[in-house]
């Protein structure tokens, strides 16, 4: 009976999400949504507005928040970022991360069949109403988890991967420790239960969110606004309104319980730079979206990702007693810096290079350093390394060269 929602209720739900989905698709769909109170937000709520260019001027109502850049991991803003709080369904960022890693490692296939157990089917809260024994490919289950925060689908996949939800939660904690999430402890894969031991922080959520979006293909799911399962008979609706209304939004996960409040890990990308804004324990859905939007817009407005390079091509370095007379130095990878847009043109790049090398020379051998500074303050030091190996001349190589020189001289 759960799959037979009246058309009037469906229409109301669609209106509350602020979408013209019903008009775009001439099909009667049920909509699975996260079990939380929804709010109608005013027109223009998600549009960029004036944002201070200094973090000190930011007004973020969320009790706990953090803003991080994906590429460098630089933290641009934090507020009670290490306070341990209940994350609600934002928990599923770690669940999704473990799934993504298993897929990329080949341990799981997207067309692998997942069977729902009686335990998984009994999950409450956000769900797609899986029945015991119902089967779906992992691709569909993942869509249910990411888009509709389906607790039943999350548990079904967790059981498939680890044998039980408890065993999967243990793996979640192992991965959290590996990532340096020192203030996190998971007791389940959903965040549904208000377990007093199921706690994390805004900083730790940003860390696992950053790790998840490194799997770029996951954005095929995290950017879905509306979709269906069961051959179009059951609709999915994303509760993350940023996906629909905020420019560049790439995800990531909402959450709500009465104890955790309204939570969100929001990601967005513009001009090749991606940011993560985590807000926890907000008093309303509007407050969490306003807080996340403010943080993201501040980052996009004030910062840029610079990739400093030497002003001139690095000269080859002479090699003594080498099978090649020179080796080309190159700047090692990882030279990107997040800087304020107003400072980008003032970055100073200096280079120190070894004048000469003696063979043998290894590929990747450090031969110098590139220093980036601003106003006399060092921002980064990046190694300069050799682009290839240069073996040492053997005695036979030396003898042959001497014979060649003698022969040429004799002529």
Please say if 340 is a catalytic residue: no
Beta partners for residue 368, in sequence order: 353, 384
C-alpha 170/C-alpha 158 separation (Å) is 11
Q: Examine the residue annotation and report whether 265 is marked as an active-site residue of this protein.
A: no
Give CA–CA dist 31/75, Å, rounded. Answer: 37
- Residues 106 and 117: their CA atoms lie apart, in Å, by 24
DSSP state, 199? B
* Contact status, residue 226 vs residue 234, Cβ threshold 8 Å: no
Helix locations, 37-164, DSSP H: 92-105, 118-121, 138-148, 151-162
Catalytic residue chosen out of the listed positions 70, 92, 219, 253:
92
H/E element, 175: helix 165-178
Q: Who contacts 140 (Cβ-Cβ below 8 Å, separation ≥6)?
A: 229
From the list 149, 209, 237, 297, the catalytic residue is: 149
| Identified catalytic residue from 64, 70, 79, 89 | 89
Can you name the residues that pair with 251 across neighbouring β-strands? 267
Task: Please give the distance of CA 224 from its chain centroid, rounded to a whole number.
Answer: 16
- Determine whether 209 is an active site residue: no
Cis peptide before 361 (omega within 30 of 0): no
Left (φ > 0), alpha (ψ -120 to 50) or beta: where does 341 sit?
Answer: alpha
Q: What is the DSSP letter of 86?
A: -
Number of Cβ atoms within 10 Å of the Cβ of 266 = 28
Q: Which residues are catalytic?
A: 89, 92, 149
């Amino acid at each position: 009976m759960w799959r037979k929602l009246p058309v009037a209720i469906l229409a109301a739900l669609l209106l509350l999400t602020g979408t013209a989905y019903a008009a775009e698709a001439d099909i009667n769909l049920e909509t699975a949504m996260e079990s939380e109170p929804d709010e109608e937000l005013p027109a223009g709520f998600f549009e960029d507005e004036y944002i201070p260019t200094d973090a000190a001027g930011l007004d973020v109502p969320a009790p706990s928040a953090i803003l991080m850049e994906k590429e460098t991991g630089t933290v641009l803003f934090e507020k009670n970022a290490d306070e341990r709080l209940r994350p609600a369904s934002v928990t599923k960022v770690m669940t999704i991360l473990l799934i993504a890693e298993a897929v990329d490692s080949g341990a799981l296939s997207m067309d692998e069949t997942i069977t729902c157990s009686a335990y998984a089917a009994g999950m409450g809260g956000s769900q797609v109403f899986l029945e015991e024994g119902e089967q779906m490919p992992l691709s569909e289950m993942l869509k249910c988890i990411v888009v509709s925060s389906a607790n039943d689908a999350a548990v079904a996949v967790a059981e498939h991967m680890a044998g039980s939800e408890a065993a999967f939660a243990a793996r979640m904690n192992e991965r959290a420790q590996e990532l340096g999430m020192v203030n996190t402890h998971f007791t389940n894969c959903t965040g549904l239960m208000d377990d007093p031991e199921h706690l994390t922080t805004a900083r730790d959520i940003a860390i696992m969110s950053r790790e998840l979006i490194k799997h770029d293909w996951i954005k095929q799911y995290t950017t879905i606004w509306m979709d269906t399962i069961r051959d179009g008979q059951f609709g999915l609706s994303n509760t993350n309104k940023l996906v629909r209304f905020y420019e560049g939004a790439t995800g990531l996960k909402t959450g709500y319980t009465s104890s955790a409040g309204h939570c969100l890990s929001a990601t967005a990308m513009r001009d090749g730079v991606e940011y993560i804004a985590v807000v926890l324990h907000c008093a309303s859905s509007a407050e969490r979206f306003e807080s996340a939007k403010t943080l993201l817009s501040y980052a996009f407005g004030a910062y840029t990702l610079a990739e400093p390079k030497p002003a001139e091509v690095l000269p080859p370095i002479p090699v003594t007693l080498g099978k090649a007379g020179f080796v080309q130095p190159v700047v090692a990878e990882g030279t990107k810096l997040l800087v304020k847009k107003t400072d980008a043109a003032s970055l100073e790049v200096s280079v120190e290079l070894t004048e000469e090398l003696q063979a043998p020379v290894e590929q990747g051998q450090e031969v110098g350093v590139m220093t980036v500074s601003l106003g006399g303050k060092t921002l980064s030091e990046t190694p300069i390394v050799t682009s290839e190996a240069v073996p040492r001349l053997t005695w036979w190589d030396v003898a042959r060269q001497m014979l060649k020189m003698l022969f040429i001289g004799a002529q």
